[in-house]
Chains A and B, each alone.
Chain A
Amino acid sequence: MSEEVKTKEPLFSAKNKKLIFNPLNKENPITVQVLGICSALAVTAKLEPAIVMSISVMAVLAFANVIISALRNTIPPRIRIIVQLVVVAALVILVDQVLKAFAYDVSKQLSVFVGLIITNCILMGRLEAFAMGNKPWPSFLDGIGNAAGYGIILIIIAFFRELLGSGTIFNYPVLEKIGLYSVGYKNNGMMILPPMALITVGIIIWVQRSRNKELIEDK
């Protein structure tokens, strides 16, 4: 993972493409590395906050990766974690402030979880494992890829939780429109609570592993 990319190569070489697409499936931060679970459970009751959260994480992770990667040869190893934390924290505060100014409703729903992006293990993991040893462009792609891997799971969970828990998609009452309530269907209130998010993550992991034999550990 951490060897330098030496030779000149095209922007989207096979290697770089892998940086983006691997985290979506084989190296998914949530379902395979099991990182960032806390926020995945907390912000996925509705689709809108889940998407805003994914975009926020993507912005923070991509830029933190680029900044750390650009500075990587100047950062003294003894304080590298502190430097990484300061960069991430500064970006998170920026994102939080921007959301408060331009997406106030969503920022209220996300509440502390934007601030808690700082403690999201995916970020520190990528900075430490990738950005510290690679050039800015691959680091940028790695950031986008991992955030997308995180986001795609968030959005899948949020889709099912919103549909089954509130009967809506993007606050549009789908189930009411197709007339399910008139035949006696009721929303499952459990889906709104965090435990069902964990179970949904579990089901996603199950489906993913049964389709992808590489992920199954040897006994």
Chain B
Amino acid sequence: MFTNRYIFTYAAIMVIVVAAILSFAATVLKPYQERNVRTEKIMDILKSVNIKTEKSNAEDIYNKYITEEFAIRPDGEVVSVYKTDTKSFEKGDVRPFEINMKIELSKQAALKSGKGTEKPVFPLYVCNHDNKTYYIIPLRGKGLWGPIWGNIALKDDFKTVYGVTFGHKGETPGLGAEIASEAFQKQFRDKTIFDDSYNFTSIKVVKGGAVTLPSDEQIHGVDAISGGTITSKGVSNMLKDCLENYVPYIKQQITN
């Protein structure tokens, strides 16, 4: 009753029609989706310096408080500088905000293991809020089930943490997912990522609590999440892997 030819024609037409509808929808909706992702990124960055924003005003507030964006190589070279008030480049032509951390971190890993030659660049945001300057560094790493990410804001001495935010794709609710909670993030406040002579120490997320560390190291440690050991380790590694890329640049700034 249905010939093979009919079946093949039917399937072919169906697939083409569906493909056309879906690609049309994807094209039409893409600008909206990209705007959502962008707004979320902006809100995350601002949250690390304790600026609360709504979806509607995020972009304006960003332009008001984030004055400059830097793109920095791990050896300390500044590749580009972008001013948000004039929307112009002072140097280079890579908008630091558009840098994809995932790609840059994999370039960095390839470079370290000798498999790649491409040099990564990392963004650094400068925030001026209440007459104080903060430096915001975006973070990205691996949790237990998927990627985790965040932003860390440093005070103008480049070593004291002003605030952090973390996000995750699918950590276990109640356990690993607690990294996104206020209580966990509050611990990072006033911890330092360098010791007194500016040797890079990063911040460790310590199982059993920061109190188990020697007293001079407690300033570089926070309590891990019970039941979320692997996610906690992921946060430790993420902080170390991302922050160390900025160490040469920060040292230049300190000695100047």
Binding site for B on A (CB under 8 A): 45, 74-79, 82-83, 86-87, 90, 93-94, 97-98, 100-102, 104, 111, 189, 192-193
Which stretch (B4-12, B90-98, B153-161, B240-248) binds chain A? B4-12
Residue of A nearest to B146 (CB): A111
Q: Distance (Å) between the CB of A15 and the closest chain B CB? A: 30
**Contacts of A79 on B, CB cut-off 8 Å?**
7, 10-11
Q: Which of A78, A90, A189 neighbours the largest number of chain B CB atoms within 10 Å of its CB?
A: A90
Are A94 and B33 interface neighbours, CB within 8 A? no
Among candidates A78, A90, A98, A104, residue contacting B21 with C-beta atoms closer than 8 Å? A90
If over half of A's interface residues share one DSSP class (helix, strand or loop), that class is named, otherwise mixed; here it is: helix
Among candidates B14, B29, B36, B170, residue contacting A83 with C-beta atoms closer than 8 Å? B14
**Contacts of A74 on B, CB cut-off 8 Å?**
10
**Contacts of B18 on A, CB cut-off 8 Å?**
86-87, 90
B25 at the interface (CB under 8 A from A): yes
B85 at the interface (CB under 8 A from A): no
Cα A97 to Cα B2 in complex, Å, equals: 35
Are A94 and B40 interface neighbours, CB within 8 A? no
Q: Distance (Å) between the CB of B182 and the closest chain A CB? A: 15
Are A189 and B174 interface neighbours, CB within 8 A? yes
Are A193 and B173 interface neighbours, CB within 8 A? yes
A-B contact pairs, 18 of them (CB 8 A): A75-B10, A76-B2, A76-B6, A76-B7, A79-B7, A90-B21, A94-B21, A97-B26, A98-B29, A100-B33, A101-B29, A101-B32, A101-B36, A104-B33, A189-B174, A192-B173, A192-B174, A193-B174
**B156-182 Cβ-contact flags toward A at 8 Å (1 or 0):** 000000000000011001100000000
**Contacts of A102 on B, CB cut-off 8 Å?**
32
